[in-house]
Amino acid sequence: MTAASQINQKLKRSRRYVFERKDFENIASYDQIGRALNQLIKQGNLMKIGYGLYTKARKNSLTGRLMPTNPGGTDAILREILKMKGVNFEIDTLSWQSLSGNSTQIPSSIQYSWDPKRFNRKLVIGDRLLNSPSGK
């Protein structure tokens, strides 16, 4: 079984949506993992969202473009990344009120804030660019 098929099998079995390159260390060498991940990206099974970070992907039936499979969208992916890295984060008050059911207004996008010293990466998920906040 090739490294790409082993990684693909691990992706399908996993309940997570975000993966790091080191999650596949036990499968093959560093270079083989890199080639296998690039192969899965070309096949449309994965999206690279940042340095060493990948998410499960599928083709959008309307646009034909690659999109994350997470039902919560880009916000759920960002929360999963921050939790995986052990970074404490806060959600803006309008979004928090909407998510908790205290408000019927739905914000266009959820704004997060965290300590950039704990996590400082540029993430690109589809057309959305997520940068670390300038400060808390």
Please give the structure tokens belonging to residue 97: 């009120």
Residue 21 pairs with which residues in a beta bridge? Answer: none
Residue 122 covered by a domain: yes
Span 74-87, pLDDT tens digits: 888 888 988 898 88
Give the chain's domain count.
1
CB–CB of 57/48 below 8 Å? no
Residue 101 covered by a domain: yes
Residue 136 covered by a domain: no
Structural domain including 51 reads 3-130
Span 42-85, pLDDT tens digits: 999 999 998 889 999 999 899 988 889 998 888 888 889 888 98
Span 98-126, pLDDT tens digits: 878 888 888 877 777 888 888 887 888 87
Distance between CA atoms of residues 80 and 15, nearest Å: 12
